[in-house]
Amino acid sequence: MIPIAKPLIGEEEIEEVEKVLKSGFIAQGPKVAEFEEEFASYVGTEHAIAVSSGTTALHLALLSAGVGKGDEVITTPFSFAATSNCALYVDAKPVFVDIDLKTFNLNPELIEGAITEKTKAIIPVHLYGQPAQMDRIKQIAKEHDLRVIEDAAQAHGAMIKDKMVGSMGDMACFSFYPTKNMTTSEGGMITTNNSHMADMARILRAHGEKERYKHEILGYNFRMTDISASIGLVQLKKLDGFNQKRIENAEYLKEHIKGLTGIKPPYVSPKVKHVFHQYTVRVKEGKRNALMEYLNQEGIGTGIHYPIPIYKQKLYQDRGYDDNWPETEKAALEVLSLPVHPGLTIEELEKIAISLEAASENLFE
């Protein structure tokens, strides 16, 4: 089976982990500090705060931005649930607006209609590795005095013109889960140019301590280990190469898909660098499951990101959500992710292309 995702761990990562294990300093320590410095430099921000996951990054970012009980947070319903769950963690209310079906990202033209006196922040997601429309989102946020927290969990190294994703909002959050464009095995990172928010995130991730055994506020144990950071330091050096291979694989797939019936390749916005965390096509309505089954039988892994809008999850239905955003609903029925990861061989790419062509002829003609 050609996997839908595959972490690429080499001898360099193994050697660095071994060094950390032999050092005896395996919790948060010098490697975490080094990783934070290198990651901030890469993204182009003053601060980077390493944490235990992308989810805890989102949680701490909202707390550090002052979002709390009774506040509202505008975000997309077409994402992994962690994007909106982080608002629930801080007793705020996620407010969903629809996506742009071309990019699968939050439609900024719908944001102002969702703003109320309770709105405190906007969380755009750079879904599948394609940057959201940050210029427009930031303009709206400035006009209404709102915080912008980028969910960049799938967009390490993505860019808008010459600006790196993770450097455009008040804060940004990355995930280093094994399937991401780079990994630390598990882990996350917050980036920001706001020193106060950075300090708050650092305190919150370590039991509310500013100094050892002096607990100033209620905090958490959301720290990254030096083991994870040692992997991250090596992966960060490889990230641009990984992303370039993803882009090349995506271009190969596009060239072989663009003329096929029933399968629509992903749209790439102008002036952005899309880093293809996922290569997600749209399949003719009612045919996705048949295509998925056909490809799986051919030994090609697939994924649906995401089959159920967040507002239709039981967690949100039980909270009274009755949203029905048409573009989100359509995307949930049509999207199918194909392998695009940098571990693919040319033979595997050819197999995917040939199988898609055969599926198009058999299923859609």
Spatial CA neighbour of 58 closest among 275, 276, 233, 222: 222
pLDDT of residue 22 exceeding 90, the answer is yes
The phi-psi region of residue 169 (left if phi > 0; otherwise alpha if psi is between -120 and 50; otherwise beta) is beta
Residue written as token pair 């927290």: 149
Q: Report which of 126, 125, 220, 231 is spatially closest to residue 186, judged by C-alpha positions.
A: 231
Q: Would you say 78 and 328 are in contact if contact means Cβ atoms under 8 Å apart?
A: yes
What's the pLDDT score for residue 296?
Answer: 98
Helix residue ranges per DSSP H, the chain: 11-23, 30-43, 54-64, 82-89, 134-143, 195-204, 226-257, 288-297, 314-317, 326-334, 346-359
pLDDT-based confidence at residue 9 (cuts at 50, 70, 90): very high
pLDDT recorded at residue 129: 98
d(Cα 329, Cα 331) in Å, to the nearest integer?
A: 6
Q: How far apart are CA 106 and CA 98, in angstroms?
A: 6
Sheet arrangement for strand 159-160:
163-164, 159-160, 272-273
CATH code, residues 239-364 = 3.90.1150.10
Dist. CA 343–CA 141, nearest whole Å: 39
Kindly list the catalytic residues. Answer: 180
When the pLDDT of each residue in the chain is averaged and rounded to a whole number, the result is: 97
Q: Global pTM?
A: 0.97
* Mean pLDDT (whole number) for 297-326: 98
Query: Judging by DSSP bridges, how do beta strands 279-283 and 335-338 pair with one another?
Result: antiparallel
Q: Which residues pair with 119 in a beta bridge?
A: 72
pLDDT of residue 197: 98
What confidence tier does 270 reach under pLDDT thresholds 50, 70, 90?
very high
The label of the residue with tokens 């030994």 reads: 299
What ranges do the domains of the chain cover?
Answer: 11-97+105-234, 239-364
Model confidence pLDDT, tens digit, residues 82-97: 999 999 999 999 999 9
For residue 252, the model assigns a pLDDT of: 98
Look at residue 88 in the predicted model and tell me its pLDDT: 98
Half-sphere exposure of 290 (CA within 13 A, CB side): 14
Whole-number pLDDT of residue 157:
98
pLDDT at 365 over 90: no
For position 158, what pLDDT does the model report? 98
Q: pLDDT tens for residues 154-178?
A: 999 999 999 999 999 999 999 999 9
**pLDDT value at position 107?**
98
pLDDT tens profile 177-234: 999 999 999 999 999 999 999 999 999 999 999 888 999 999 999 999 999 999 999 9
Tokens encoding 57? 């990054």
Residue 280 has pLDDT above 80, yes or no: yes
Report the amino acid identity of residue 23.
Answer: S
- Look at residue 193 in the predicted model and tell me its pLDDT: 98
CATH number of 11-97+105-234: 3.40.640.10
**Chain segment 242-258, per-residue pLDDT in tens:** 999 999 999 999 999 99
- Half-sphere CA count of 15, side-chain side, radius 13 A: 5
> What tokens appear for 115 in the block?
């703003």
